[in-house]
């Protein structure tokens, strides 16, 4: 059987670990799209310091490319899967659909979104209505510490299933998801598993990402310090978790009864761990606010569920994002004389 | 008639301008309590660059002292007024009552609180039940640019009246307030006026200080930029102003009908003006969150008025204040191994 061709878009920590695991499994060949880290990877390969795979030196996937290949030209074979592990910032173009568009072959390719948040599949289904779109929710701990240097401190952990797409038969979508799990984890030794209940998996992760991420970002505070202050947990974190639970419930997803306790204790207390959104803000990077907070707020409004905390936190995050956009030249402040409100 | 003796506690911008105006009026002699700026004032006097009084060089009030005088010892004559212009941070001792206590002569002294916020008089009335407590709400623009150097860019503007105090007859309190206005503004040329409706004056200022101050602080953003982003005004500022209006209304104070518009346009649009709370946060100073936001939230709860935005913003401010406290050594993070929530 020919190996599956997987295009990996976004080769930071998670994307590189996926490319490595996919090739290691023997059933896939990975083409890695690399940008800032392209030169380093071409010259010296990729170094991985992994709790799971050990010290990997000068590793190279089957192919490394600087841009998303254009399969319409016929000089690149079509891809079975496009794995997307980039950050998802729909408030700043280009969109994920724009980025991967040249590499999608309808009837052949399935798209795997290894990104957080709610409703991330919607723009892809709208653009590629006959293409299966697969959800991966990853709990893997992996970061790029320097160009083409990956530090992987938590074993690969993913829950994978198919998004519901009106024009894709459910069985076809599920089969594409299961096949992807199989080529990723052919021996069944990895904690990378098929889970049909995509909505539940995603809402479960929103309970953390919609609460600890934004509050840590707004306060620029690590989560152990947040836990040390009872009021931050009681006045901010717990209300958000309960709002997320209520929105999920109204959308048909019942989350676990010990949700609050589990989310609050999710990460370790003995180091100054800051969630990704907070790290992004402190580095001056755009934050993933729309899919982690904005979409839950819009779901709450659509379903008539009160979510005052999430809504106000979303408003604050948009203000913080505006500052990042200004620093990046994506927004310009226009001062004017006189007192006017435009 | 003997001059009134006024002790000025807090000789930054507002306090120094008050001491100067009081002495300039000819009916008062000011004793200025100075700390960080004591040596500079003793050596070279105080320089004032004032839109109202012009260039004042090497000015000295009647007395300069490093500490609040202890009138019980008999070597310092009692004070008619104690003017307090310090920041009000009741969440960190010492309290205002603690600070001024040695200088209060019951039956003689009246206390003038030139500080923002709601319920600031409560701890003083509790400590000094027979002493008139007077409210000054100042719109004066004055800052200390270096030790004993004051820049006064907006003319003195104050509304002064008596707080209601159970054991002080209303007429006595009002008379003390009017007398203070008279010694401050004997010729009537200053915009420093008696206004009996202290509650309305204070709630009106909370509409700005409870909205623009906290949101600017949380976003670390000047108010013109906030106005340029419609969502910050619509999602955060206006909801808070409407909540403040509703709380005030429930407490018996009707605020002006154009409140929202006036607050939003209060400061100029052509410079990057940041409210004082935001300046404090950026300088690593403690913020006046309790009297500007905490007390309005507690009033809302007491009166059964919904104030979700103010409540969540208060929660966030307490988290930001915790970071300032940690930087100042007033709070210590205690990390621990294992996942525990205390």
List of domains in chain B: 4-196 (3.40.50.720), 201-327 (1.10.1040.10)
Confidence band, pLDDT 50/70/90 cuts, at residue A341: very low
- Predicted local confidence at residue B134, as pLDDT: 98
Residue whose tokens read 């992760």: A205
Confidence band, pLDDT 50/70/90 cuts, at residue A59: very high
- Higher pLDDT, residue B75 or A177: A177
- Say yes or no to pLDDT of A271 above 90: no
Using the beta-carbon criterion (under 8 Å), do B319 and A220 form an inter-chain contact? Answer: no
* Residue B69 burial (CB count, 10 A): 18
Using the beta-carbon criterion (under 8 Å), do A218 and B335 form an inter-chain contact? Answer: no
- pLDDT tens, residue by residue, B222-259: 999 999 999 999 999 999 999 999 999 999 999 999 99
3-state secondary structure of B171: helix
- Predicted local confidence at residue B336, as pLDDT: 72
Using the beta-carbon criterion (under 8 Å), do B312 and A235 form an inter-chain contact? Answer: yes
- Say yes or no to pLDDT of A336 above 80: no
Measured between CA atoms, the residue of chain B closest to residue A271 is B335
Distance from CA of B267 to the nearest CA of A (A): 7
**Separation between Cα atoms, residue A59 and residue A40, nearest integer Å:** 12
Query: B227: which chain A residues are within 8 Å (Cβ-Cβ)?
Result: 341-342
Measured between CA atoms, the residue of chain A closest to residue B269 is A339
- Predicted local confidence at residue A267, as pLDDT: 83
Closest Cβ–Cβ partner in B268, B315, B318 for A339: B268
- Span A211-216, mean pLDDT? 98
- Say yes or no to pLDDT of A243 above 70: yes
Let me know how long chain A is.
Answer: 342
**Separation between Cα atoms, residue A139 and residue A156, nearest integer Å:** 7
- Predicted local confidence at residue A342, as pLDDT: 36
Angle between the N-to-C axes of helices B212-219 and B198-209, in degrees from 0 to 180, rounded to the nearest 10: 20
Mutate to test the interface with A, among B264, B316, B317 (most CBs of A within 10 A): B316
Q: Pick from A296, A274, A276, A295: which is nearest to A286 by CA?
A: A276
- CB-based contact B219:B232 (threshold 8 Å): yes
Measured between CA atoms, the residue of chain A closest to residue B221 is A323
- pLDDT tens, residue by residue, A283-311: 999 999 999 999 999 999 999 999 999 99
Residues 6+ apart with CB under 8 A from A226: A212, A215, A216, A219, A232, A233, A237, B319
Confidence band, pLDDT 50/70/90 cuts, at residue A338: low
Per-residue pLDDT of chain B (342 residues; tens, 9 = 90+): 799 999 999 999 999 999 999 999 999 999 999 999 999 999 999 999 999 999 999 999 999 999 999 999 888 999 999 999 999 999 999 999 999 999 999 999 999 999 999 999 999 999 999 999 999 999 988 999 999 999 999 999 999 999 999 999 999 999 999 999 999 999 999 999 999 999 999 999 999 999 999 999 999 999 999 999 999 999 999 999 999 999 999 999 999 999 999 999 988 777 888 999 999 999 999 999 999 999 999 999 999 999 999 999 999 999 999 999 999 999 999 887 654 443
């Amino acid at each position: 059987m020919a190996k599956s061709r997987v295009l990996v878009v976004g080769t930071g920590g998670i994307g590189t670990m996926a490319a490595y695991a996919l090739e290691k499994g023997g059933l896939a060949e990975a083409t890695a799209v690399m940008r800032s880290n392209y030169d380093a990877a071409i010259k010296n390969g990729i170094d991985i310091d992994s709790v799971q795979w050990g010290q990997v030196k000068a590793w190279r996937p089957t192919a490394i490319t600087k841009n998303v290949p254009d399969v319409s030209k016929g000089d690149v074979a079509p891809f079975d899967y496009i794995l997307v592990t980039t950050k998802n910032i729909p408030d700043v173009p280009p969109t994920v659909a724009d980025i991967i568009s040249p590499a999608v072959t309808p009837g052949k390719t399935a798209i795997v979104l290894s990104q957080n948040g709610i409703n991330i599949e919607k723009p892809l289904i709208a653009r590629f209505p006959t293409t299966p779109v697969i959800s991966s929710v990853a709990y893997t701990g992996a970061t790029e510490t320097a160009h083409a240097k990956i530090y992987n401190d938590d074993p690969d952990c993913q829950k994978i299933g198919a998004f519901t797409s009106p024009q894709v038969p459910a069985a076809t979508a599920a089969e594409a998801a299961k096949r992807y799990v199989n080529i990723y984890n052919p021996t069944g030794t990895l904690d990378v598993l098929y889970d049909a209940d995509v909505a539940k998996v995603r809402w479960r992760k929103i309970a953390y990402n919609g609460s600890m991420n934004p509050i840590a970002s707004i306060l620029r505070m690590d989560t152990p310090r947040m836990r040390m202050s009872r009021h931050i947990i009681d006045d901010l974190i717990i209300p958000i978790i309960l709002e997320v639970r209520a929105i999920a419930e109204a959308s048909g997803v019942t989350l676990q009864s010990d949700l609050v306790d589990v989310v609050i204790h999710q990460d370790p207390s003995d180091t100054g761990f800051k969630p990704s959104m907070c790290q992004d803000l402190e580095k001056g990077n755009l934050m993933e606010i729309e899919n982690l907070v904005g979409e839950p707020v819009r779901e709450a409004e659509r379903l008539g569920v009160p979510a005052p905390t999430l809504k106000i936190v979303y408003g604050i995050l948009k203000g913080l994002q505006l500052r990042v956009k200004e620093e990046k030249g994506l927004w310009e402040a226009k001062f004017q004389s006189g007192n006017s409100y435009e």
